[in-house]
Amino acid sequence: MFPALYAVIDIAPNLTTEAASYFAQDLADDLAKAGVRIIQLRAKQASARFLFEISSTLVHRLSGQPVRIIVNDRPDIASIANAAGVHLGQEDLPVEAARAICPTPQWVGISTHNLEQLRLAKNTSADYIAVGPIYPTATKENPDPVVGLELIRAARKLTRKPLVAIGGITIKSASEVFQAGADSVAIISDLQKAPDPGKRAREYLAVAAEAIAARSSA
């Protein structure tokens, strides 16, 4: 089963490599202890070396634990850092090009923002498809238009690949996202800004378990 909580560690551009490393390690430790099983590392404005060093550190730190580290945008760095996979945006390498760099059992995920992109993604070797932004989000400088729950519902009818909903999701809205057909919710700021990220992660996992159980019995 695909992990119900897809945690994203977003590295602020003003952090040094050392500060970013400590931040990422501490947060990843908290999330792993709370039961999170997939963590994406995102550092949009970082250099390749910066992203490689942080990725390698996280992979080594969580080695032996049942947690997948996914590198955002860069399949080359995911490969050489021995990460569990890469997540691609629409402007990144095509899925099959990334797959050549990150072969199975590494995962390749792809973000989609409309039905046309979804239809294309479902016919690739992508291991999962992200859909969003579901709600308004402040974690991107130039976010795509909000797609709402309707795109999740449409996506669920189009593919059986795991669907990861992303964009502005909170603990209050997560249940309706799962009920719409998502397999997982990607959470960034609501984890990073929480006084206790591990506790907040456990809250999401509890909401997911309840919502998915209700959906299955409906």
Q: For the segment 156-205, what is each residue's pLDDT rounded down to a tens digit?
A: 999 999 999 999 999 999 999 999 999 999 999 999 999 999 999 999 99
- pLDDT of res. 215: 87
User: To the nearest whole percent, how much of the chain has pLDDT over 90?
Assistant: 89
202 catalytic? Reply is no
What is the model's pLDDT at position 53? 95
- Average pLDDT, rounded, for the chain: 95
CA distances from 12 to 18, 41, 83 (A): 12, 11, 21
The predicted structure's pLDDT at residue 137: 80
Residue 116 buriedness (CB in 10 A; 0-12 / 13-18 / 19+): exposed
The DSSP output letter for 145 is P
The burial of 173, by beta-carbon neighbours within 10 Å (0-12 exposed, 13-18 middle, 19 or more buried), is given as: middle
Tell me which residue has tokens 């955002």: 72
Q: Residue 72 carries which DSSP code?
A: E
Catalytic residue among 21, 111, 161, 184, which?
111
- Whether the CB-CB separation of 201 and 7 falls below 8 Å is answered with yes
Per annotation, catalytic residue among 33, 119, 140, 153: 140
Domains along the chain with CATH numbers: 5-217 (3.20.20.70)
Q: Given the residues 42, 61, 122, 215, select the one marked as catalytic.
A: 42
**pLDDT at 128 exceeding the cut of 70:** yes
Give catalytic status of residue 173 as yes or no: no
Q: Tell me how far apart the alpha carbons of residues 95 and 124 are, in angstroms, rounded to a whole number.
A: 7
Q: pLDDT value at position 45?
A: 85
37: annotated active-site residue: no
At 65-112, the pLDDT tens digits run 999 999 999 999 999 999 999 999 999 999 999 999 999 999 999 999
